[in-house]
Amino acid sequence: MKALKILLVLLFVFVSCQKEKHSIDINQLNGYWEIVQAQNPYGKNVIYSINTQVDYFEMKDSLGFRKKLKPDLSGNYKTTKALEEFKIITENDSLKLHYKTPYDAWKETILSLNDSLMLVKNDKDFLYTYKRFEPINITE
């Protein structure tokens, strides 16, 4: 009986000391992001040292969009016509972006997000690392 009580106390301590879930400030998503690395589910990494496009995220409340932009050396952006709208939903203690375009629908899970880095996993288990984009302006 005493062993059972000790086991229950240890179980309670173990469960109560579980690692606390990281909270994500979704407002950090707004802005310009460039992909740094992509990893497929088989472990192959692709490192992007130079990007000709950046992703611009804008969201308000639980709705938003992502748009591909091409920065130029003067600090301006040329926009593409592609616009991917998303809805932010919490599923299974994870923050997910549900995308929908006229051609497709998919989900991405935000694993980590702060003011300088973002880690995203899509529904095909591709892992993407983004860094906050800092434009190069040669006119200054």
The matching CATH number, chosen from 3.30.565.10, 3.40.50.300, 3.40.50.460, 2.40.128.280, for 28-83+110-132 is 2.40.128.280
What pTM was estimated for this model as a whole?
Answer: 0.77
* Predicted pLDDT of residue 140: 56
Beta bridge partners of 86: 64, 99
CA 140, CA 80: separation in Å to the nearest integer? 26
By C-alpha distance, which of 30, 20, 95 is closest to 60?
30
Domain ranges of the chain: 28-83+110-132
pLDDT tens track of the chain, all 140 residues? 454 333 333 334 344 444 444 578 889 999 999 999 999 999 899 999 888 899 999 999 999 999 999 888 777 788 888 899 999 999 988 999 999 999 999 999 999 999 999 999 999 999 999 999 987 666 65
* Predicted pLDDT of residue 7: 32
Contact assessment for residue 70 and residue 135, using Cβ atoms and an 8 Å cutoff: no
Tokens encoding 118: 């973002």
How many CA atoms are closer than 13 Å to the CA of 68, on its beta-carbon side?
7
Contact assessment for residue 80 and residue 86, using Cβ atoms and an 8 Å cutoff: no
